A and B are shown apart, each in its own frame.
Chain A
């Protein structure tokens, strides 16, 4: 310690004191601080969860795609090229790309099966000869390595082993089958058989007129090869389609042309078996171009931005294609599905807007609590100032406190997000989820950096709020202030009708807004924001009104409340500062829960309705061309009540093009999922019966009827596309429609968004469609086959047997009512899953927030009112009486919130549902269904209510434990 001779010395202060004091202070108000951290955590967790969900979902989609596709594409030299060298140049390019994990090169050439004494000793070989008739069984020899075999083991179906040791070979099923046929059933290749192969290492075909020199084929005879496995190609994959076959006639010059020497007519020999020299020879001079398989790197693509994965992969393919004209690149045809999946996740981020009220609410609560926390510190600040603490030290102590709280909130928020993100990804319904998907999501969970930055920014909100409150408080605090606050608030004497009037106005605005402004796209987002604001206003006004109503009611019910009335009535009219924020928060949390439940249930029902309408009937079949009477052959299956084929052709009147949909009117009438809004002017029943009975009848959209100035009974000449060209056909209008089940909106000009059916290709394009009789259309166009069929049944369960059979057919998609939207890859299911997950999360978080705010507000209310309770005890009140008094007041307030929030929830649920459709990718063509899941609503709200009321007991018990002697002495 330096000291000047004149004795001036200053105590500069302890730099570490602020952080020490912050820690002590945090420890001393554990409950309050935990509440603040939890509330902050909720506001952090919500956006983090939504962003992590979309990010993780995207990554999972990418990984899933890579798991299902061992290679993304293959590269080879076009047939007829003189050299394969450009392939090796391309390999350099591939291996240098960050999006490549690895690349496998497989040289291949022709091999001829040799069986001494059975197969002929050939001297001449041409790939296009009738080799099978000559007894020559040729096939492709593909040179593989153990690594390649390991990858292929998932691409090909096989039996036996799928690995090669010395003296071993793998053969394809077709190779084995044709070998048997070629050898006249003398050679039977099975697992364990020994075969020999003449490997033709050099491609050779003498010019015309020159004798064939078999030596130039560079034949390598490999004997004693044991067949260890037989494989087959069963699913389309890059491996399956990369070995193009040779088209030739095998047995007879007049026989059919067949493709041979593709992968399904091949043998796999290890590079080691052939030797380095042979492999090199085959690679450069073999009959076929080596095929290079490229495996994309999921990690590389994710690192470059998951949303760009498919685009980056395509860019790599294009780069290779453009590097050399002789290169052929196969594959990536199904990456479009991956991009759609990714885009859907990205689009679902808009759901964040639905969580906005909960986020704002928690941030608001953070301000309230930090303000309350700081204002209680007035005396403390004064005491610290009197003990020599500088502004900087006090400021530092509180900022440290807030920073520690913010860090705790951030960590807690991230922990909640980590647990809640898989909940969104694995939602199967309202408050239900799938545990195995939960685990998958949990294992793959990543929090994107943008979400992390947002989380940190939200976390900094608390120190910012403290900064504001503390700096204001220190400025106005003088020394010598009491460390405990004693203030009496004058009871409020405002009539509740002012608040009721305000609330009424807010609700009218809420209900009128979506009617006046059609909620689509940006307008919907704007209206959602406005509705969030209105929610806050309504919660505030409703809380004020309800509190006064409760006070007034308690004044009147003396018989029930007894002597408590004296206290509660007055108490309810004051303490606005503590109770109104609490009531607002409780009302907001309960309203949000109710609102989101209505929203989700309405969404599910509307979409199910849309899905069923888009399907058309109980079962819809999309298949390859089948005769229009194809379904008649299934009449033996029980349960089907009717069926119709659908013939579709394009047509036009003047320059307006529409589709004509030919249906069996009577069957369609009986099995179609019609709605009252489908047809116009008369019921669907009447109009379709009329169509059935009218030769060349047509049902037009209202738009087209008016465009072509046609009314019921009028003839209309339409140019119809037929197999042979265009033909003018006169139809007679039998009715008009707005939409039709199975087809969608009749005039595409009425579309304001993408209808559900469009995602499956069910919604006809052009200007729309018209319905005509199936037979008329068939006769006029000459089409006798259809790709779309409708089957009717009383319930999907009645036709299970039939649908199971249909599902086994190739290139056939069977859509069944009530099951369509649960396909996990569809756009709608992701949105719905997100919505359900968000609702579940909001429910849990709202409940947590409600309970925390009860703990925070009522806890501090009890501390503040300790002198009153002490007085009660001092004048003879028992502990039980105090508990009952306080509990009645608190629980009454909670009940008031529940009542008002049920009402508000129903109204906000209505508007919010309409607005959410505006940001949803599906545009409903039927009227939206508003569903009020009363039972589940009541159950969840009741559950929340019970938990909150139980939470009220603890502060009440604390009030009961007031020690009058101690409190009154410290007053």
Chain B
């Protein structure tokens, strides 16, 4: 196994806590399709913490898969920074080659479609990633055996991928994703895209239990894109993504039907606050709000009347200097010439 060193750049991430595995900062991703620009991610920032399971929920087209690709270094963000703990640097500046090599023992992928090669058996599919990475045979064998045991496939390890059940395939895929992360002292991350998408609830549950078990035993972090409440409920943190923007964070044990009760929204770096669309729907999609703060609470009241007209109301004022009445629409006192300050 070969390793080599990277010239350490100015470490922009020294302020980040040690338990951050991946940090995404103000990432934008714009795809160009037939001269049209599609914004898939629009200023996304999040941190994945060591040993935690983070889930991302959101409707189709919200940018979940783009986010997973950006985190995994498969796709580069158009603007923004992605920090990987193993490199302690922004990966968007790295070459494809360095990125691929760094990814091997830091990121594992697990997809709904499992990505197993049909002509290889379960054991070989798990081993493949280690072979590609150039892990020596003895270490490889030991790791694969260990993982196969962990995912409970000892009996089926000689079976071709096509003959495995959905749950078994998923287990092979997990083992395969972890094969190079075992020695990373918990700094690794498994990116999962709809891991239980085509599994029945019971098998899905077992796979999620396996995630939790592996998360606890190996300490590997999981980042899961899902539509499933079942998955979201197992996560330590759940992120809501909508139109490429994070519209909310939730603590463990969320219920997708009652997101509004657990949602925490976070200001972005420009002090903007994303509004959850389900709540906006409930309020009849208002476009403007009246914002007040009192008793330690921010109040957002939908503004139904014409705000602009109200502001332009030509109100008669009294001059604060001489007390003369200033006619509506005028801002200079006709008596003393003082300017009205708003």
Contact = CB atoms under 8 A, between A and B. Distances in A.
Interface of A: 1-4, 6-15, 17, 20, 24, 28, 379-380, 382-393, 478-484, 966, 969-970
Contacts of A383: 115-117
B134 interface: yes
B125 to A, nearest CB: 9
Given A6-B88, A392-B97, A479 B115 contact: yes
Given A15-B134, A382-B115, A480 B109 contact: yes
A13 B128 contact: no
Interface string B102-120: 1111000101110111110
B3 interface: yes
B306 interface: no
B131 interface: yes
B117 A480 contact: no
A17 B134 contact: yes
A482 B101 contact: no
Nearest to B169: A970
Contact of B101 (A3, A12, A382, A483): A12
Contacts of B132: 13-14, 17, 384, 387-389, 393
A241 B132 CA distance: 79
A13 B113 contact: no
19 contacts: A4-B5, A7-B86, A9-B3, A10-B4, A10-B98, A12-B101, A13-B104, A24-B119, A379-B113, A383-B117, A388-B129, A390-B96, A479-B74, A479-B115, A480-B193, A481-B113, A483-B115, A483-B118, A966-B163
Given A8-B87, A11-B3, A391-B96, A28 B133 contact: no
A480 B111 contact: yes
A484 B3 CA distance: 35
A2 B3 contact: yes
Nearest to A16: B134
Given A383-B116, A480-B113, A10 B102 contact: yes
User: What 3 A-B pairs are tightest by C-beta distance, nearest first?
Assistant: A14-B134, A12-B2, A387-B129
Nearest to B198: A971
B65 interface: yes
Contacts of A1: 1-3
Would you call the interface of chain A mostly helix, strand, loop, or mixed? Answer: loop
Interface string B1-20: 11111101000000000000
B166 interface: yes
B111 A14 contact: no
A17 B176 CA distance: 17
Given A1-B1, A4-B5, A388-B180, A12 B109 contact: no
A391 B74 CA distance: 11
Contact of B3 (A3, A388, A970): A3
Contacts of B65: 480
B115 to A, nearest CB: 4
B166 A969 contact: yes
A11 B134 contact: yes
Contacts of A478: 69, 74-75
B100 interface: yes
Contacts of A2: 3-5
Contact of A8 (B86, B96, B163): B86
A733 B100 CA distance: 96
A381 to B, nearest CB: 10
A20 B128 CA distance: 11
Nearest to B74: A479
B135 interface: yes
Contacts of B163: 966
B162 interface: yes
Contact of A11 (B75, B105, B111): B105
A8 B113 CA distance: 32
B165 interface: yes
A17 B129 CA distance: 11
A969 B165 contact: yes
B113 A483 contact: yes
Contacts of B112: 480
A2 B3 CA distance: 6
A388 B119 CA distance: 19
B100 A390 contact: yes
Contacts of A389: 100, 132
Contacts of B3: 1-3, 9-12
A14 B127 CA distance: 13
A390 B95 CA distance: 11
A386 B111 contact: yes
A583 B195 CA distance: 43
A482 B166 contact: no
A630 to B, nearest CB: 84
A386 B86 CA distance: 18
B117 A380 contact: yes
A384 B133 CA distance: 11
A970 B162 contact: yes
Contacts of A480: 65, 109, 111-113, 115, 193
Given A387-B132, A388-B103, A483-B115, A8 B5 contact: yes
A966 B160 CA distance: 12
Contacts of A390: 96-97, 100-101
B74 A13 contact: no
A6 B75 CA distance: 27
Contacts of B180: 11, 388
Given A390-B101, A483-B118, A969-B165, A11 B113 contact: no
The CB with the most chain A CB atoms within 10 A, among B100, B105, B132, is that of: B132
Interface string B121-160: 0000000110111110000000000000000000000000
Contacts of B102: 10
Contacts of A3: 3
A75 B246 CA distance: 103
A13 B115 contact: no
Given A386-B115, A478-B74, 11 more contacts: A1-B2, A1-B3, A3-B3, A9-B105, A12-B101, A13-B132, A14-B134, A384-B128, A385-B74, A390-B96, A479-B69
B122 to A, nearest CB: 14
A485 to B, nearest CB: 12
A11 B135 contact: yes
Contacts of B193: 480
Nearest to A7: B86
B133 to A, nearest CB: 4
B104 A483 contact: no
Interface in B55-109: 65, 69, 72, 74-75, 86-88, 96-98, 100-105, 109
B109 to A, nearest CB: 4
B228 to A, nearest CB: 17
A746 to B, nearest CB: 73
A11 B104 contact: yes
B203 to A, nearest CB: 13
Contacts of B6: 8, 10
Nearest to A10: B101
Contacts of A7: 86
A9 B112 CA distance: 30
Nearest to A390: B100
Contacts of B69: 478-479
Contacts of B129: 387-388
Nearest to B118: A483
A452 B162 CA distance: 44
A3 B117 CA distance: 33
Contacts of B165: 969
Nearest to A484: B118
B131 A14 contact: yes
B322 to A, nearest CB: 71
Contacts of A380: 117
Contact of B133 (A14, A391, A392): A14
Contacts of A484: 118
A11 B134 CA distance: 7
Nearest to A28: B119
Contacts of B133: 11, 13-14, 388
A363 B146 CA distance: 49
Contacts of A13: 2, 100-101, 104, 132-134
